Structure 1
Amino acid sequence: MQSLLSQLSLWILIMVGVMNLVLTVFVYKFNHKSATNRVFFLLGLAMTFWLAAMYFSLRTYTPQVNLWLIRFSIFFATALNGLFLMLSKTVPSETLALKGKKLGLLTLSTLGVMFLTLTNFIFSGVEVVNGIASPIPGKAIIIFPLYIVITTILIMITLWTRFRKAEGLLKRQLLMILTGITLMLGLIVVTIVIPVMVGRNSSFVPLFPVYTLIFTGMTGYTIIRHGLFSFKVIVAEALVVVLWTILFSRLFVLRDLSELILNGIILIVVSIIGNFLIKSVRNEVAQRELSEKLTKRLKELDAQKDEFISLAAHELRAPMTAIKGYLSMMLDGDAGKLSNTATEFLKEAVDGNDRLIRLVNNMLNVSRIEEGRMVYQMGMVDLKQVVKRVYNEFAVAARDKGLKYELATSEGLFNIVYVDQDRIYEVVANLISNAIKYTDIGLVKVKLSMASPHAIKLEVIDSGRGISTEEQKKLFGKFVRAESSAGKTLGTGLGLYISKLLIEKFGGRIGVVSSPGKGSNFWFVLPVKRSL
């Protein structure tokens, strides 16, 4: 049983040591110019050496060997606390926070205590108690625990002070690091340092690798949640190195030649596959990071574009409204009698100005809807009456193009919907206007029916040019037009996008059924209110 526990402790040590080394090397390679990364790298090395020294110090060798192993364990423990304090001041900055006298004081005190740990002033010898080598305190033993306690308190105060003043991502990072260090150092001081120094009790020393895993685990959680480093790459490298270490160590314990050859072949195969695995993970992470950067940049550009469009639309609407007023006054004869040619020119100008006003209004509506600034006057609306009003307003336009123009409503309609009356009017007008605009010969039919007992459906059917399947997929996007059916017809590509946003706001659905050369059927469905 004791042999099994000893082997388990060794494998825990190897895995924890390998994970620490992989993590620290990766962090250093990630940005070797960063002070945070460099300090973390030194911290990881010190922790790995400390783990090894602590493990072997628990084994019984000659008194002199055990004495030096114990000394080396507290030697690296001293370095650990000094580096922890430096990291707590620096993370996540790329420049060292401690400078001048403070840096000099920390460096000199840490190196001084490290030197003393290797002398008889801290531990003068060892004695074997129940098969365990226990250190004999020296005359200056108080210096080591005093240094550990003071630096630990400074670490906690530093992290807590920075945590209280920090905001956002930095606050979350410091919280995770603070929690990890608090748990690890607290357990080490309470169960290892104090018992060894005061009562010569080293019973809990075998648990020290588990304590370091707490800090490693908290750091890993920070990596996953807050993207300090690439966790996928770290895991891949750690797994490969652990497997390689286990297989390589087996070469020294196997005695059978066939098993030795087989283990060697497996080791080579694992090394090759592991190398490809790490490269593939690194490529995936690099592509993901590049994709995230580009996505973020595109979002910023899209926001800037929307802001520009909104500002431009606001500036354009006032002068265009004034132009429309002056043109109307001229057509009414306020500026004198006009010739027939001048009247036709002015009518063309009015039509062009109206298109610009519609474009500006659509741009403003898109901006307001997307930013949540659109004010809706929600209420119970008779959809049938809205459809009839819009239908009648476009009757002249349909007649001028020689189109057959029909309105069909089913009997027993439940046509009360909860919407903004002006906005639903815009949607219906947009669908009917598009049908007339893009249909040269044939029919435009407006149909109102029940899609289900709880929903009403409006269909605008035309015999126009039709729309391809590929174009239908993106037709309700912003600034999108069906080029196959648009021809020379003018349009902004915003009408259907706004209609989709509004219908979805009202709890409905909108779509199209079409094929090239066979016309189109634009429809929307809204939930009905059966009682006012």
Structure 2
Amino acid sequence: MNVFALSGILIGTTSTAMAVLMILIGKEKLHHIWGLFCTAVAVWGFGAYQIATTSNIAQAELWWRITHLGVIFIPILFMHFVSEFLKLKNKPFIVSLYTLGFLFLALNAKGDLFIASMRWVFNQFYYDSPPGIFYIPFTFFFIGLVILSHYILWRALRTATGLKKKQIQYFFAGMLVSFAGGSLSFLPVYGIDFYPIFNLFAFLYTPILTFAILRKQLFDIRLVLTQFLVGAIAILLLFNFFTSSSFFEYAWKGTLFVAFLLAGYLLIKSVLNEIRIREQLEEALTKLKELDKAKSEFLSIASHQLRAPLTAIKGYLSMLMEGTYGTVGEQQKRPMQNVYDSNERMIKLVNDLLNISRIESGKVEMKMEEGSVEKILESVVQELQVKAHEKRLDLVFEKPQSPLSLFRFDKEKMRNVVLNLVDNAIHYTEQGSVKVQARQTAQNTIISVTDTGLGMREEEIARLFQSFTRGETGNRAWAEGSGLGLYIAKQFVALHRGRIWAESKGQGKGSTFFVELPLA
């Protein structure tokens, strides 16, 4: 039995099995189309076997015509399958393809318009060569339709996810071992006597795609391709072994075959381990994303639920302290002020949590309008003067020598950024001053907040703008806060396409925070 006959019986047997499988368990239109495709491939396979085993020219011509009953409809049924798989609305196009298919089928029935003659090739069997006049457009039709269907799949692959993405990857893997090799079978028709050796691997096509269609969970495509590569090389080595002509040749070819099987096993095992580790990492990442999403949802819901009662507490406390409900004694004022301050800190924390939930869900709205950053700085410094005075700190805004140019920014968010920076500077400074400055270059506005406070080390600065993070010195100090302010400030600055960073010469040497915003 020659290789062409062996490939034919393999293709015919596997494709028939896949067609029967689709008939038995297929429930969808997609399954029925694929069953017909497998039937067409089976006709090609069994026909090739008969062609490869006969030396009678009349029988060879008959079997070539029978084989083309399948060959003609292989690209048409595959395009129909792709259209159904991707839910494409192209029924007129599919109908026109079947019309052309039946036209080619009629031309194939008899005469020399499709199959013109037979030619003895490779000293083994007859080939339908040279072609009839209509066989040439059929060849372009076959190859063009295969390319078009895979181009459509490739475009779908770019946006596909999950199971569908893996299925398309399997389709391409199958294409490499079938259409790519099977299409070379046209070469002898046109006098290019290239032996159809690649047909030997085409039997894998229908099982690979049937597996991809029916399975809800697919193995990693790299594993399939590795197994295919190892299997294909092993088949070639085994075939090479049986063609040996001496004991010595049997010995070294047998040794090579066994060594390759061992190496192939180790290769597949390593790929399996890599895939297993990657799947574990992907599973962990998925769970992490779910937890992160749940955290963001919880923060959003909890913050909204807390905001209303905290606002009410603030309102009633203000009225009590102002004497709306009667005179408040000096002895009660201090505890009430402490409660009010604690409530303010809680409101700030709730607002920070709300900001984080909006940032992480991508729901931050930017209200860009032209304004003066100097006014923002003056307002913040004025607001925090009382707090600085309580700590006996000098809080100074050094105005630039000439007014800064107006530019577009979100005033509320930039005020939040500057407020956080100045508030932090006051918190982390025991004595000395906090200085706020602003200047402009040709492209940017640069805001700086400098303090004479606790200072930081390089490693502290590196993680300073992460959520729920503070400098190590701050953790040991009396400073209040959740560690969210700088993280939120960084996100707000990033939304302006700017950057924020900190500099410090070390612990006890103060710090300077910079915000750089583009003017355009």
The C-alpha deviation readout for 1:88-127, integer Å capped at 9, x for no partner, is 9xx99xxxxxxxxxxxxxxxxxxxxxxxxxxxxxxxxxxx
2:50 is aligned to 57
| Equivalent of 1:455 in 439, 444, 457 | 444
Give how far 1:404 is off: 4.1
Q: Give the distance between the partners of 2:287 and 2:126, measured in 1 at CA.
A: 61
CA contact (8 A) 1:51 1:208 kept: no
CA contact (8 A) 1:248 1:267 kept: yes
- The answer to whether the aligner puts 1:523 opposite 2:511 as a matched pair is no
Change in Cα spacing, 1:369 to 1:339, as seen in structure 2 (3 Å) is same
**What is the correspondence of 1:464-475 to structure 2 with a 5 Å cutoff?**
464-475=453-464
Change in Cα spacing, 1:242 to 1:315, as seen in structure 2 (3 Å) is same
CA contact (8 A) 1:310 1:367 kept: yes
Q: Give the distance between the partners of 1:359 and 1:173, measured in 2 at CA.
A: 45
Q: Give the distance between the partners of 2:406 and 2:126, measured in 1 at CA.
A: 89
TM-score (norm 2): 0.64
Q: Give the distance between the partners of 2:207 and 2:508, measured in 1 at CA.
A: 63
The C-alpha deviation readout for 1:165-184, integer Å capped at 9, x for no partner, is xx997888899999999xx9
Q: Secondary structure at the match of 1:335?
A: coil
CA RMSD of aligned residues (A): 5.4
CA contact (8 A) 1:449 1:456 kept: yes
Give how far 1:129 is off: 7.0
Give how far 1:324 is off: 0.9
- The answer to whether the aligner puts 1:501 opposite 2:494 as a matched pair is no
The C-alpha deviation readout for 1:387-411, integer Å capped at 9, x for no partner, is 1221222223223223343433444
| Equivalent of 2:345 in 350, 355, 373 | 355
Q: Give the distance between the partners of 1:251 and 1:218, measured in 2 at CA.
A: 27
The C-alpha deviation readout for 1:348-397, integer Å capped at 9, x for no partner, is 00000001111111222222333343343321111122112212222232
Q: Secondary structure at the match of 1:458?
A: strand
Give how far 1:509 is off: 0.9
Q: Secondary structure at the match of 1:346?
A: helix
Give how far 1:448 is off: 1.7
The C-alpha deviation readout for 1:268-299, integer Å capped at 9, x for no partner, is 33222222221111122122222222222222
| Equivalent of 2:335 in 308, 333, 345 | 345
Change in Cα spacing, 1:271 to 1:433, as seen in structure 2 (3 Å) is same
Q: Secondary structure at the match of 1:526?
A: strand
Change in Cα spacing, 1:438 to 1:254, as seen in structure 2 (3 Å) is same
- The answer to whether the aligner puts 1:440 opposite 2:440 as a matched pair is no
Q: Give the distance between the partners of 2:171 and 2:221, measured in 1 at CA.
A: 20
CA contact (8 A) 2:388 2:394 kept: yes
CA contact (8 A) 1:381 1:421 kept: yes
The C-alpha deviation readout for 1:47-105, integer Å capped at 9, x for no partner, is 99988755443324588xx99xx8xx99xx9xxx9xx99xx9xx99xxxxxxxxxxxxx
Change in Cα spacing, 1:270 to 1:416, as seen in structure 2 (3 Å) is farther
Give how far 1:455 is off: 0.5
- The count of aligned residue pairs is 416
2:243 is aligned to 253
The C-alpha deviation readout for 1:300-324, integer Å capped at 9, x for no partner, is 2222221221111111111111111
Q: Give the distance between the partners of 2:457 and 2:256, measured in 1 at CA.
A: 57
Change in Cα spacing, 1:428 to 1:255, as seen in structure 2 (3 Å) is same
| Equivalent of 1:399 in 389, 392, 400 | 389
Residue type matched to 2:513 in 1?
F
Q: Give the distance between the partners of 2:421 and 2:207, measured in 1 at CA.
A: 58
**What is the correspondence of 1:212-231 to structure 2 with a 5 Å cutoff?**
219=209, 228-231=218-221
Q: Secondary structure at the match of 2:375?
A: helix
Q: Secondary structure at the match of 1:525?
A: strand
The C-alpha deviation readout for 1:122-156, integer Å capped at 9, x for no partner, is xxxxxx9765579xxxxxxxxxxxxxxxxxxxxxx
Q: Give the distance between the partners of 1:264 and 1:516, measured in 2 at CA.
A: 73
**What is the correspondence of 1:162-173 to structure 2 with a 5 Å cutoff?**
none
CA contact (8 A) 1:251 1:263 kept: yes
- The answer to whether the aligner puts 1:416 opposite 2:409 as a matched pair is no
Can you give the 5+ residue segments of structure 2 that lack an aligned partner in the other structure?
86-116, 128-159, 187-192
Residue type matched to 2:509 in 1?
K
1:479 is aligned to 468
Identity %: 30
Dislocated runs of 4+, deviation >4 Å: 33-36, 42-55, 128-134, 167-181, 205-208, 210-220, 256-262
Q: Give the distance between the partners of 1:43 and 1:292, measured in 2 at CA.
A: 38
Can you give the 5+ residue segments of structure 1 that lack an aligned partner in the other structure?
1-5, 93-127, 135-166, 193-202
TM-score (norm 1): 0.62
Residue type matched to 1:454 in 2?
Q
CA contact (8 A) 1:467 1:485 kept: no
- The answer to whether the aligner puts 1:374 opposite 2:364 as a matched pair is yes
Give how far 1:433 is off: 0.3
| Equivalent of 2:313 in 312, 315, 323 | 323
Change in Cα spacing, 1:168 to 1:449, as seen in structure 2 (3 Å) is closer
Change in Cα spacing, 1:43 to 1:295, as seen in structure 2 (3 Å) is farther
